[in-house]
Amino acid sequence: MTKKALLKEYEKNLQVVIKSAKESGLKDDQIEQCIRQSFKPLKKTSHDQKNHKIVKCSLLLLLPLSLFIYILLNVHTPTSSLVLRNVQGLTYPALKIVRIISVPIIKLFPSFTSLYDESCLVENPYFYLTDMDCWPCENIHSLLNLTGVDDVNPLEKLREGTPCIIEMNKPTVSLKHFQELYWNYSSELDLDANRLKVTGLNSGTLKAVANLTEENLSSNFHIHWRINKMIPARIVRKLFPKPHFLPERSGQAVERFLFIDGPKSNTYTLPNTECSYVFMIQGSGERIIALKPSNECKDKCKTIYVVMKPAALLLFNWWYWRPVSLPVKNSTSLSFTYMNSFC
């Protein structure tokens, strides 16, 4: 049916509707109002379709425009330099505005302030180096024991990629020492206690741990305490001082970890550290540390194992080795392991 025929059919049907309305007692203005109301949905549909077309066209234009700007800024050096010169002056005012806007949000969610101390909010689980040279770990089949060797600097071996172990002459750190430290500095340590992960205990607070005795702990008891604030880090250093061979001005990371394990605590992978040079100190008890090659080097290097005995210090480079903690067979005592890193 042609458009003209459709209009004639519509007009005929409309006349029938108007006649029927008049017979029902409706006045002419009421009939006209009803007819106008019937056209409103059609107008709305037409308007929505028009808006949809506008949005679609805008997106089609925006995509190539964004691609063009990105290529221009990354390829055309004069344009990139011009933009940077003009944008740099706006950086601090923009950050100031963002900070002002964030104040009400922080008031509503005070726990967000803990993110200020984080060096990395979201870690990339797919991080991988395609061209990494794995020669430092290719011929390593066991740890280098530097106990009593004074003419070899552990840092030199560490920079070469060789993992080392040193049996230090220092007091052990037991649950009793940890509890004494907490009661002396409870107000300061509780500020960072929200990063405590506990397995085998009903309450996951430092105060609950400070009230424990070894007799009422399960054999698979485990504590993972991550510290990334300066004050608690300084306090924990009273139990685990900086290794003697580290220079005074070494870039020691604030972030550090303390692991307390029962004699049959499950195997777990130790977390990634801020810096690549890692050292672990065994405070008391025993724990097996497996140094597994990183993903980049797993086809060229082999896993090596070491039993961490009290006062043992382990050094390795995180780029080549990833540590895993395992229980020691027939062990009967709690294990205290401290981990830190430096750059």
**Burial of 288: CB neighbours in 10 Å, binned 0-12, 13-18, 19+:** middle
Question: Stretch 1-28: mean pLDDT, rounded?
Answer: 71
Question: What letter represents residue 308's amino acid?
Answer: M
pLDDT higher at 272 or 160: 272
pLDDT higher at 332 or 25: 332
179 and 268 part of one domain: yes
**Burial of 64: CB neighbours in 10 Å, binned 0-12, 13-18, 19+:** exposed
pLDDT higher at 34 or 95: 95
Residue 109 lies in a domain: no
**For 281-290, what is each residue's pLDDT tens digit?**
998 889 999 9
Which of 53-62, 212-221, 292-301, 333-342 bottoms out in mean pLDDT, i.e. has the lowest?
53-62
**For 226-250, what is each residue's pLDDT tens digit?**
888 888 888 888 888 888 777 776 6
Question: What is residue 110's predicted lDDT score, i.e. its pLDDT?
Answer: 73
Residue 42 lies in a domain: yes
314 and 172 part of one domain: yes
* Helical (H) or strand (E) element with 325: strand 321-326
> DSSP H helical segments within the chain, as ranges?
3-23, 28-75, 77-87, 91-108, 135-138, 154-159, 175-184, 186-189, 206-210, 230-236
Which of 19-33, 126-140, 214-228, 306-320 bottoms out in mean pLDDT, i.e. has the lowest?
19-33
Domain region containing 214: 135-342
Question: What is residue 6's predicted lDDT score, i.e. its pLDDT?
Answer: 66
* Helical (H) or strand (E) element with 278: strand 277-284
Report CA-CA distances (Å) from 99 to 34, 92, 106, 111, 294.
Answer: 56, 10, 10, 16, 39
Number of domains in the chain: 2
Residue 70 has pLDDT above 80, yes or no: no
Name the pTM for this structure: 0.67
Q: Measured between alpha carbons, how far is 290 from 311 in angstroms, rounded to an integer?
A: 18
143 and 20 part of one domain: no
Answer whether 156's CB lies under 8 Å from 146's CB.
no
Last-in-domain residue among 37, 55, 75: 75
Question: What is residue 324's predicted lDDT score, i.e. its pLDDT?
Answer: 92
Last-in-domain residue among 25, 51, 75: 75
pLDDT higher at 265 or 203: 265
175 and 248 part of one domain: yes
239 and 307 part of one domain: yes
The average confidence (pLDDT) of the chain is 79
Residue 302 lies in a domain: yes
pLDDT higher at 7 or 339: 339
Residue 271 lies in a domain: yes
pLDDT higher at 244 or 259: 259
pLDDT higher at 196 or 40: 196
Question: What is residue 290's predicted lDDT score, i.e. its pLDDT?
Answer: 92
Q: Measured between alpha carbons, how far is 338 from 257 in angstroms, rounded to an integer?
A: 6
Per DSSP bridges, beta strands 144-145 and 222-227 are: unpaired
Question: Stretch 315-329: mean pLDDT, rounded?
Answer: 90
